[in-house]
Amino acid sequence: MPFCTFLETEQNDILAAKEGHELLCWEDLRKMKYSWSVASEVLGIWTPTRGTFREAITDFNYEGYTIPKGSKETTVQSPYTFVPFGGGPRTCPGAEYAKMVILAFVHNVVTKFRWEKKIPEEGITHYPSPMPAYQLPLHLYPHKC
């Protein structure tokens, strides 16, 4: 899991700047740019498939249907689609608090535990989007004090 090294490095740098058992502060949370990117992707705020084609670039078959080249996606987003924290005039007033809680959780998990995949060679499924074949089960081990 090489991407985890970026997350771990960011969190350990913040921890190293702390003295003793000093708690996280607002400035620490503002430094967690990579951690928030990870959390946003997990929550579905940012999608890793941003910029994908919305027009068929070749003819292809899907579940017995032929989609001709040049076909465009005509569906609009359902008004009931989950959008974490909402948006526009209905943005959740607790969004910043939720962000703080998420980042504090990430910080504590990353700095207090090491993790290993239970299935080291777990594959990736690609439907409807790339994801671990078995939901990425982990073993968490507390760091020694």
CA geometry: angle 6, 11, 17, nearest 5 deg? 130
Residue 58: the pLDDT is 87
Q: How many CA atoms lie within 13 A of 89 on its CB side?
A: 0
Residue 49: the pLDDT is 52
Pick the closest to residue 101 from 46, 35, 14 (CA basis).
35
Residue 115: the pLDDT is 87
Number of compact structural domains in the chain: 1
pLDDT band with cut points at 50, 70 and 90 for residue 74: low
* Residue ranges making up the domain that contains 87: 3-142
Mean pLDDT, the chain, whole residue set: 83
Burial class (CB in 10 A: 0-12, 13-18, 19+), 124: exposed
pLDDT band with cut points at 50, 70 and 90 for residue 77: low
